[in-house]
């Protein structure tokens, strides 16, 4: 009788340790998703802060391109709203609008030699391009963290612990095929 009790107790301890390990692993994955999102958030905020400077620099030269400048600022606002809500789906759509607006703005800038020669414009154009590349890199890291989290949350026996402690799947930062295509500058100005 005492041997059975000891075996039962040992089995309970092993099961408890196993559940704790799964729980801690799920917490680590969830926090990696949050950290990856935070890294994107930092870059989006930096770009958000740089865009008004770019628009102001362009306004000095582009008297007839107000619609282009307004589109960039509207897209900037949409990205900021989606970012603030943590809405990954809305962020994807807003990012596409901003990308198209910036493509159009940089294409229109080609028609303004004084603007292209402006050191402030060159600096901001380079800075925003670098931020865009960094955001793309961080998207990859975010999606990898989300993928690892989602696999664990759906895999047996982890899914039992995940459901018990309400661990959820995270949304990938995905783009439609249309959103992934390069901006066709010829079509925009053709």
Residue-wise pLDDT for 21-43, tens only, equals 999 999 999 999 999 999 999 99
In this predicted structure, the answer to whether residue 183 has a pLDDT above a threshold of 60 is no
pLDDT for 12: 95
Task: Assign domain 30-189 to a CATH class.
Answer: mainly alpha
More confident residue, 76 or 187: 76
Q: How crowded is residue 123: how many other Cβ atoms within 10 Å of its Cβ?
A: 14
Q: What's the rounded mean pLDDT across residues 169-186?
A: 64
- Work out the burial of residue 175: count CB atoms within 10 Å of its CB; fewer than 13 is exposed, 13-18 middle, 19 or more buried: middle
pLDDT for 44: 92
Share of the chain above pLDDT 70, in %: 92
Q: Torsion angle of alpha carbons 163, 83, 92, 103, nearest 10°?
A: -160
Q: Which two tokens stand for residue 131?
A: 């931020």
SS3 readout for 44-65: HHHHHHHHHHHHHHHHCCCCCC
Q: How confident is the model at residue 67 (pLDDT cuts 50, 70, 90)?
A: confident
**Residue 5, helix vs strand vs coil:** helix
Are 57 and 118 spatial neighbours (Cβ–Cβ below 8 Å)? yes
Q: How many CA atoms lie within 13 A of 39 on its CB side?
A: 17
Q: Where are the alpha helices (DSSP H) in the chain?
A: 2-59, 66-85, 88-109, 113-117, 119-154, 158-164, 177-180, 185-189
Q: What's the rounded mean pLDDT across residues 75-96?
A: 88
Q: What's the rounded mean pLDDT across residues 94-111?
A: 88
Are 16 and 47 spatial neighbours (Cβ–Cβ below 8 Å)? no
Q: What's the rounded mean pLDDT across residues 89-115?
A: 87
In this predicted structure, the answer to whether residue 177 has a pLDDT above a threshold of 70 is no
More confident residue, 159 or 60: 159
How far is residue 165's CA from residue 15's CA, in Å, rounded to a whole number? 16
Residue with structure tokens 């008297």? 63
How far is residue 29's CA from residue 107's CA, in Å, rounded to a whole number? 42
How far is residue 25's CA from residue 20's CA, in Å, rounded to a whole number? 8
How far is residue 31's CA from residue 85's CA, in Å, rounded to a whole number? 18
In this predicted structure, the answer to whether residue 2 has a pLDDT above a threshold of 80 is yes
């Amino acid at each position: 009788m005492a041997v059975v009790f000891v075996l039962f107790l040992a089995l309970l301890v092993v099961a408890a340790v196993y559940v704790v390990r799964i729980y801690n692993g799920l917490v680590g994955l969830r926090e990696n998703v949050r950290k990856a999102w935070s890294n994107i958030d930092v870059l989006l905020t930096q770009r958000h802060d740089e865009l008004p400077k770019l628009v102001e620099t362009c306004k000095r030269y582009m008297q007839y391109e107000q619609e282009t400048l307004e589109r960039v600022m509207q897209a900037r606002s949409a990205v900021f709203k989606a970012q603030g809500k943590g809405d990954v789906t809305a962020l994807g759509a807003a990012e596409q609008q901003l990308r198209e607006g910036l493509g159009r703005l940089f294409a229109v800038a080609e028609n303004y030699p004084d603007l292209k020669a402006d050191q402030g414009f060159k600096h901001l154009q380079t800075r925003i391009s670098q931020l865009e590349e960094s955001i793309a890199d961080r998207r990859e890291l975010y999606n990898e963290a989300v993928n690892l989290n989602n696999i664990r949350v759906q895999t047996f026996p982890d899914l039992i612990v995940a459901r018990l402690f309400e661990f959820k799947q995270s949304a990938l930062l995905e783009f439609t095929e249309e959103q992934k295509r390069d901006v066709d500058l010829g079509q925009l100005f053709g």
